């Protein structure tokens, strides 16, 4: 496993999506006041980056293309210089913090995002990496609203910024309206990111590895669910059901209310094609996913010892 070795280079990123202001302001604040984080992990070099400054300036998710969908190896390797700002920025970030692959100079990347969904402090792991698992498990004990979402990624194909590093956590904080700030969420997020840095230091001292295993709930990606519509590109025919709105990480069983049509009819969850009758939806009604035709992401819940 990759991070059995020391974590020497850490990147804390904000503004990968320009209108997700918690990460933007956290990085800007720490750039101005390095004393806020400089003592958290003396055993590593910690760098800060505002990933998409152009989108931050516009207070939009992106300018030309979603930056957090621009880091697949295919995108990074295109021979022609891309015209879209975000594809050029992705290459630049990869040159500075990568190169993506086993020889990358970044050991750990913490990418701070916001969601409009009621997801609390959602810790998204892209791999079963020993440090990110152990540290995230500790944080579920320390923060009452922290959740673990496991979204396995084939690293070279993955479009996410975090996969430029050997290990990464994408921290999704909500509910927060895009383009805005929320003081309570900002303060919790700052504490959470600092704790990751402190736990990285604990890891480098060989102490985190010695902690007893912690029982965690793990929500593993199953599939994205789109809105009902007659054909691809048609207007959506229903909204998230009011009984489901805000119920991220809750169980959705076959027969439960899922959508409400515009003429007031309930649309029920039918279960999965493979016969599975329970799922745990997250990113319910995420505003940024309307353009991607995602109404929510369905996950499967397990309990594990991490
Ligand atoms: Zn985001």
Question: Rounded to the nearest whole angstrom, what is the distance from the C-alpha of residue 303 to the centroid of ligand 1?
Answer: 27
User: What is the Cα–Cα distance from 110 to 254, expressed in whole angstroms?
Assistant: 36
Instruction: Enumerate the H helices of 154-217 as residue ranges.
Output: 183-204
Give buried/exposed letters for 156-180 (b at 16+ CB in 10 A, else e). Answer: eebbbbbbbbbbbbbbbbbbbebee
CATH of 225-293, one of 3.60.60.10, 3.30.499.10, 2.40.50.140, 2.20.25.160: 2.20.25.160
Quote the pLDDT of residue 3.
44
Average pLDDT over all residues of the chain: 96
Quote the pLDDT of residue 2.
43
Question: What is the mean pLDDT of the segment spanning 264-278?
Answer: 97
From residue 213, how far is each of 148, 152, 205, 208, 210 by CA, in Å? Answer: 15, 21, 18, 10, 9
State pLDDT tens for residues 164-179.
999 999 999 999 999 9
| CB neighbour list of residue 27: distance below 8 Å, 6 or more residues apart | 12, 13, 14, 15, 48, 49, 50, 112
From residue 227, how far is each of 118, 230, 287 by CA, in Å? Answer: 19, 10, 13
CA dihedral 282, 49, 69, 19 (to 10 degrees): 60
Question: Rounded to the nearest whole angstrom, what is the distance from the C-alpha of residue 114 to the centroid of ligand 1?
Answer: 6
State pLDDT tens for residues 10-67.
999 999 999 999 999 999 999 999 999 999 999 999 999 999 999 999 999 999 999 9
Judge contact between 71 and 159, C-beta under 8 A. yes
Place of tokens 């009902």: 228
Question: What is the mean pLDDT of the segment spanning 205-228?
Answer: 97
Ion ligand 1, residue ranges at CB < 5 A: 17, 20, 113
Place of tokens 């697949």: 72
Question: Rounded to the nearest whole angstrom, what is the distance from the C-alpha of residue 57 to the centroid of ligand 1?
Answer: 16
Judge contact between 167 and 158, C-beta under 8 A. no
Question: Rounded to the nearest whole angstrom, what is the distance from the C-alpha of residue 113 to the centroid of ligand 1?
Answer: 4
Question: Rounded to the nearest whole angstrom, what is the distance from the C-alpha of residue 212 to the centroid of ligand 1?
Answer: 33
Place of tokens 């791999």: 127
The tokens describing 44, both together, are 């590593």
User: What is the Cα–Cα distance from 164 to 38, expressed in whole angstroms?
Assistant: 23
Question: Rounded to the nearest whole angstrom, what is the distance from the C-alpha of residue 210 to the centroid of ligand 1?
Answer: 33
Question: What is the mean pLDDT of the segment spanning 235-251?
Answer: 97
Superfamily of chain region 9-211 = Zn peptidases (3.40.630.10)
Quote the pLDDT of residue 4.
62
Q: Please report, for the chain, the start and end positions of each structural domain, with discontinuous segments joined by +.
A: 9-211, 225-293
Residues 114, 118, 122, 128, CA torsion sign: negative
């Amino acid at each position: 496993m990759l991070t059995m070795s020391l974590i020497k280079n850490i990147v804390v990123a904000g503004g990968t999506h320009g209108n997700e202001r918690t990460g933007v302001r956290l990085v800007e604040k720490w750039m101005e006041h390095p004393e806020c984080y400089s003592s958290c992990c003396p055993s590593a070099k910690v760098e800060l980056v505002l990933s998409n400054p152009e989108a931050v300036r516009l207070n939009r998710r992106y300018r030309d293309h979603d930056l957090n969908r621009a880091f697949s190896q295919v995108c990074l390797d295109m021979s022609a210089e891309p015209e879209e700002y975000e594809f050029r920025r992705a290459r630049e970030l990869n040159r500075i913090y990568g190169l993506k692959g086993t020889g990358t100079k970044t050991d750990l990347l913490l990418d701070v995002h916001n969601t409009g969904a009621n997801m609390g402090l959602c810790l998204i792991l892209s791999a079963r990496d020993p440090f990110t698992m152990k540290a995230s498990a500790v944080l579920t004990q320390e923060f009452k609203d922290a959740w673990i979402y496991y979204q396995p990624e084939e690293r070279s194909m993955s479009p996410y910024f975090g996969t430029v590093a050997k290990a990464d956590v994408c921290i999704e904080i909500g509910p927060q309206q895009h383009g805005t700030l929320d003081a309570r969420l900002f303060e919790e997020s700052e504490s959470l990111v600092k704790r990751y840095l402190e736990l990285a230091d604990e890891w480098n001292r060989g102490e985190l590895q010695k902690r007893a295993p912690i029982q965690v709930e793990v929500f593993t990606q199953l599939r994205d669910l789109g809105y009902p519509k007659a054909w691809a590109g048609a207007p959506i025919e229903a909204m998230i059901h009011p009984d489901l709105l805000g119920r991220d990480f809750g169980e959705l069983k076959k027969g439960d209310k899922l959508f409400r049509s515009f003429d007031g009819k309930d649309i029920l969850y039918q279960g999965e094609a493979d016969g599975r009758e329970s799922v745990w939806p997250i990113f319910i009604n995420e505003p940024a996913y309307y353009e991607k035709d995602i109404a929510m992401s369905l996950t499967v819940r397990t309990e594990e010892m991490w």
